[in-house]
Structure 1
Amino acid sequence: MRDLLMRIIYGASNLLLGSFVTVSVGLVVGPTLILIASTPRGRTNAIIMQGIDVLLLISQLFLSLSILILLGL
């Protein structure tokens, strides 16, 4: 029983470390991109907005593909 508990604790520590790193990167990158994009319209703003549009499109693309696969089309 003790061996199983140690495995769970070890797995949870890896999960928490990964979560902490992910959130930290998001807290640094997100506001930085917002500050850059909030400057007057220009080439940089257009590039950032196109990147965000692609990221928003990816989730819809995966959802539509998975529905098509489930339906067998």
Structure 2
Amino acid sequence: MKGQHDYALAEQSAEHGHSLSALLHKFSRWYELHRERELLAGLSDEALKDIGVSRADVEHEAVRPFWDDPIHK
């Protein structure tokens, strides 16, 4: 019985480690989105024109909440 109990504890620990890793990855992605939106909003109109993005598009993107990730919908 002790072996089964130890296995269950190890499995729980691995699940928590995976959950923590996923959570840290999510926080990292949210920070990345926030930072990219700030940088995009700081570009000049000429730079936006070069990349084919309008100021209206940037303003729309800049007001999105940090957790609104277009890649992970």
TM-score norm. by structure 2 comes to 0.53
Cross-structure match for 1:34: 34
User: One-letter code of the match for 1:18?
Assistant: H
Q: Which runs of 5+ in 2 are unaligned?
A: none
Is 1:55 matched up with 2:62? Answer: no
Q: Which runs of 5+ in 1 are unaligned?
A: 57-73
State how far apart, in whole Å, the 1-side matches of 2:6 and 2:35 are: 44
TM-score norm. by structure 1 comes to 0.53
State how far apart, in whole Å, the 2-side matches of 1:5 and 1:13 are: 12
Indicate the structure whose relative CO is greater, using CA pairs within 8 Å and at least 6 residues apart: 2
Cross-structure match for 2:10: 10
Q: Percent identity?
A: 8
Aligned length: 51
